[in-house]
Structure 1
Amino acid sequence: MKHDRYDMLANENIKNLIFKMSTPAIVGLLVQAFYNLVDTIFVGRGLGADSALGIAGISVAFPIQMLMMGIAMGIGIGGASIISRTLGMGDSDKAERTLANMVTLVVIASVIFTILGLIFIDPLLKIFGASEDVLPFAREYTKYILIGTVFFAFSAAMSNAIRAEGHAKFAMSIMLLSSIVNIILDPLFIFKFNMGIMGAAVATVISQIVGCLMTVHYYKSNISLVSFKPGYMMPDLALSWETLSIGMSEFIFNSVESLVFILLNQSLLIYGGDMAIAVFGIIIKVFMLTLMPIIGIKHGIQPIFGFNYGASNFERVRETVSLSNYIVFGMCILSVIVVFLIPEQIFRVFSSDAELIEMGVPAIKISFLMMPFIGSQIVAMALLQSLGRSKQSLMITLSRQVFFLPPLVFILPLFMDLTGIWLSFPISDFLGFVVAVIFMKREVNKLGALIPQG
């Protein structure tokens, strides 16, 4: 079984391999995104007249969840990159040391994050745009989400390590089972036990504990190519630095997303009030749902990139880049078509508030205008992270999230009010695409020069 996974990464047809590696991740991520939608839908439907305030509360809490995701994915992607390349080179000892160090980093970072988050919860939520009306809802939701940080970060980070050794189906099953648990518990806690927005948060934490337990089971069984050895958990500074430096672009991506949310939510509060924040919260959840198949492709191709680069199979890396770009472009086009065909119906799923729907329909159309150009940015980041090109990957992240989006969010509303905020998304998406293509093409050309001629 273990030998089969080595052979699969090294020799299987690229199209089939992308499909085989990505499909489980896509299914798991879609279900995970769906349960995030379900949180918002049940809160919107369960709070009656306060539905817009509840949705706004979850929206304000979202940047904190993005920071949690940044910790998990920064460590997970950095460690997974090392594991896939070392397996390709046949260095199982380094893979085992990397895995153990990932666990140590996740636990330390999660505990620190939880403590600081609980101490500064109100100031953080106010910075992220919580008005006096929204703050009680945001606080009630966020404090329980913070308590579950270590469970979420552990399962999310280790899922990347599991995919790195070619066991994408098990990584999918972790997301699938935890998501199903959350979807079942949400209506039970919110409606049956009348727990309101707190019920949505508690259901989420319980589902994260389930995912954590499944991850522990994986490494305690004999399924893994990489053994977990507690003796390797003592921090290896060089290995930890390598892990964090590779995953830094992913951590900064999520962290900068959170910081951008400060500007976005504060601008939305000025130009559209709590209702605009609620609209943005729904758009973000829909955007994440449409983005999950693209992220699934990213999870699927990273082990292919890393393993084959480590094994000096550079032509397979180039072929994977080309094919995955075509795939994600098609997926993005499909998402735009769906959003433009049924925008009103999308908002009615979350709330029957007429003002929210009226504001939301044009906003979501504008926000999705340049969605087709996002896929290539994600493929570029996957390639650079898998090959250990942390600086270039970081530059792609910073280009859209720091250099383009914040200035646009600040400047455009001065001339176009709330519409200017919505327009800042497609413009920054396109500019970020240009930067990503430049870095990706440069790396592909370098790989071409390494392929023996004749």
Structure 2
Amino acid sequence: MPHERNIMLAQENIGSLIVKLAAPAIVGLVVQAMYNLVDTIFIGRGLGEDSVLGIAGISVAFPVQMLMLAIALGVGVGGASIISRSLGSGKQQVAEKTVGNMATMVTVASLLFTVVSLVFMEELLTLFGASAEVMPYAADYTYYILLGTVFFTFSAAMNNSIRAEGNTSFAMLIMVISSVANILLDPLFIFEFGMGIKGAAIATVISQIIGTIMVFYYYASGKATVPFSLASLRPDMSIVNESTYIGMSEFLFNVVESGLFLIFNQSLLYYGGDVAIAVFGIIIKVFMLTLMPVIGIKQGIQPIFGFNYGANQMQRVRRTISLSTYLATGLSLIFAIVVFIIPEQIIGVFSNDPALIEMGVPAIKICYIMMPFIGAQIVATALLQSLGKSKESLFVTLSRQVIFLPPLLIILPMFFGLTGIWLSLPVSDFLAFVVAVVFLHRESNKLEN
């Protein structure tokens, strides 16, 4: 008899199914983004006159965290695609092997990353734009974050495997509990223990350990539709290769994103100094918070795409494309409007520094101009990943990051200075939107035929 989650993916109304699967993911991701935001707020408020240097330090460390995320999502998205399609086509054993292989892949990759990054940490931070004044703050924060790499990547990757079998509620619970723990621990370590920026990093690592423990609990308690076994840890090269192939677009997206921070931070340091890097760090944290509901929609629709494609129910796949695109675009529009109404209040939450606010208000408004066009890009990526079309997914994902943004980031500042750096973001967003719409239309027509 099919498991009730499989029946839900195959038969439930698409609109209610998207809400049911996406809502927990949205809650979890928003809370998770909140703790990144809270880290920055506590440091901005806790370092007094050094608030700009502290925020800049976290901003310089952020690309390193993006590389950690690249490992987690590369493994997580690739494995989740195999799991959902295997369940849709009745291949339970393949799904079970994939869970164990995901655990092995993410653990080995994250341990290697930790060792290499610790050895070359200062060189990395210099590359990502740390000035002599910012380096002590960036190094203190990054050192402890790197020590927690394996916990962060493991919990994030395996969260995708839990979500792939349709249990988005528990996946949400992992993110919520670990994020709330981080938010509660931040003031304790930063203020009560007087550890400053180090305390923020330690609080983050402890929260990631909690997330890892919850993943182990999920599989040990028998809650999983796709159980985990020690035997499945042994690498199956067909699964490893397919998972890597499918997850490569997500991995490269985050690696390229990290590389873009290098260009951004070096350009910002040249045109605006440490204050500009701090402003960019704030904008990115705010942007990630408002982007999380759209990413939550993506995570909710991926099992619907994968399962119904595997079950040859193409009409349900097309219906999911349509509804999720409207929903993602609508949410993005709402967030853009909010940012345009209260930009000064948003920047002011992080610091009262007059130079930071003066530079930050026009910058955040420029960066949000094309926010409503992001929804279609994310739906297109989710569809292509879920259908196992890695090359197309890679092209859509990297069109903004590789084809459009880098040249704009170099050319526009030549004419507009610091404003050109901010303008490069909305212009590249619009061009990437055009690419995403072309692929969505093409794939939708194929599914219809």
TM-score normalised by length of structure 1: 0.98
1:244-393 to 2 correspondences below 5 Å = 244-393=244-393
Partner of 1:425: 425
1:107-256 to 2 correspondences below 5 Å = 107-256=107-256
Read off the aligned partner of 1:227 and give its amino acid letter.
P
Quick one: distance in 2 between partners of 1:444 and 1:216? Answer: 38
Q: CA deviation at 1:186?
A: 0.1
Contact 1:384 1:392 in 2 (8 A): yes
Tell me, what secondary structure is at the counterpart of 2:3? helix
Q: CA deviation at 1:4?
A: 1.5
Partner of 1:73: 73
Read off the aligned partner of 1:276 and give its amino acid letter.
A
Quick one: distance in 1 between partners of 2:248 and 2:368? Answer: 27
Tell me, what secondary structure is at the counterpart of 1:235? coil
Read off the aligned partner of 1:93 and give its amino acid letter.
Q
Partner of 1:35: 35
Quick one: distance in 2 between partners of 1:405 and 1:250? Answer: 17
Quick one: distance in 2 between partners of 1:201 and 1:93? Answer: 39
Residues 178-227 of structure 1 show CA distances to partners (whole Å, capped at 9, x for unaligned) of 00100000000001110000000000000000000000000111110111
Quick one: distance in 1 between partners of 2:95 and 2:2? Answer: 15
Quick one: distance in 2 between partners of 1:3 and 1:415? Answer: 60
Quick one: distance in 2 between partners of 1:67 and 1:241? Answer: 20
Tell me, what secondary structure is at the counterpart of 1:133? coil
Gaps of 5+ in 2: none
TM-score normalised by length of structure 2: 0.99
Q: CA deviation at 1:2?
A: 7.4
Identity rate, percent: 66
Report the number of matched residues: 449
1:24 aligns with 2:24: yes
Residues 18-48 of structure 1 show CA distances to partners (whole Å, capped at 9, x for unaligned) of 0000000000000000111000000001111
Deviates more, 1:436-445 or 1:38-47: 436-445
Q: CA deviation at 1:261?
A: 0.7
Q: CA deviation at 1:51?
A: 0.3
Read off the aligned partner of 2:29 and give its amino acid letter.
L
Quick one: distance in 1 between partners of 2:391 and 2:421? Answer: 29
Q: Measured at CA, do residues 279 and 2 of structure 1 come closer, stay the same or move farther in structure 2, by a change above 3 Å?
A: farther
Read off the aligned partner of 2:361 and give its amino acid letter.
V
Q: CA deviation at 1:439?
A: 1.2
Read off the aligned partner of 1:269 and give its amino acid letter.
L
Contact 1:75 1:106 in 2 (8 A): yes
Read off the aligned partner of 2:63 and give its amino acid letter.
P
Residues 96-118 of structure 1 show CA distances to partners (whole Å, capped at 9, x for unaligned) of 11111000001100000000110
Read off the aligned partner of 1:238 and give its amino acid letter.
S
Contact 1:2 1:225 in 2 (8 A): no
Contact 1:367 1:426 in 2 (8 A): yes
Tell me, what secondary structure is at the counterpart of 2:349? helix
Quick one: distance in 1 between partners of 2:305 and 2:377? Answer: 16
Contact 1:305 1:320 in 2 (8 A): yes
Contact 1:28 1:176 in 2 (8 A): yes
Q: CA deviation at 1:384?
A: 0.2
Q: CA deviation at 1:239?
A: 1.0
Gaps of 5+ in 1: 450-454
Tell me, what secondary structure is at the counterpart of 1:90? coil
Read off the aligned partner of 1:165 and give its amino acid letter.
E
Q: CA deviation at 1:276?
A: 0.2
Read off the aligned partner of 2:274 and give its amino acid letter.
D
Contact 1:74 1:249 in 2 (8 A): yes
Tell me, what secondary structure is at the counterpart of 1:401? helix
Contact 1:67 1:258 in 2 (8 A): yes
Quick one: distance in 2 between partners of 1:22 and 1:234? Answer: 32
Quick one: distance in 2 between partners of 1:130 and 1:95? Answer: 44
Quick one: distance in 2 between partners of 1:232 and 1:9? Answer: 25
Tell me, what secondary structure is at the counterpart of 2:133? coil
1:7 aligns with 2:3: no
Tell me, what secondary structure is at the counterpart of 1:350? coil
1:49-128 to 2 correspondences below 5 Å = 49-128=49-128
Quick one: distance in 2 between partners of 1:354 and 1:342? Answer: 16
Read off the aligned partner of 1:388 and give its amino acid letter.
G
RMSD: 0.8
Q: CA deviation at 1:233?
A: 1.2
